[in-house]
Structure 1
């Protein structure tokens, strides 16, 4: 596994733990189709959330969430529609979240959950 993939996998694991500890059920991880990948899909009593996880080791390029571009948001919406068409289940409201994970050397991870950001 490349260093970049390992960093992303670590961030996704931390984000999933955070969500579970906040009462969310993880119902999908790294769901893929020919159009791309959804990092995390989670639900609680009210929402199904499609969550993009961004992880960085520093702030040299800004906070991790800043890297979720317009094109990325558009792709996530498309993927979410495809996922919803494939999966039956209780109808809930849908939202799109971003979880930013900052892994600074020698410090505890900083997790910022931005809810319903697009």
Structure 2
């Protein structure tokens, strides 16, 4: 029998282990990037609109709206993606359009997974 080290409960149990929900945790639906930027960073809205036109709606929705974070700091645009594949595609296919839309010379793209 293999034991899960974090809970010391056998993994071959037939019934699931139920734990009480925490009052301090809340599940929030993912909000598209453009909605988050409009409320938190309005200075980036024009860049997003230009990028949407440059990439087209399909690519914008797939790769940009799903970004975890977008920030402009000291002339560098920082982007955080959910997946390494999206980071690779952004770096390979869309860097010139992103640089032009935001008027930056440097972009850093980080992947969470």
Q: TM-score, normalised by structure 2?
A: 0.37
Answer with 1 or 2: which has the greater Rg.
Answer: 2
Greater helix fraction, Structure 1 or Structure 2: 2
Q: Which has the higher contact order (CA 8 A, sep 6+)?
A: 1
Q: TM-score, normalised by structure 1?
A: 0.35
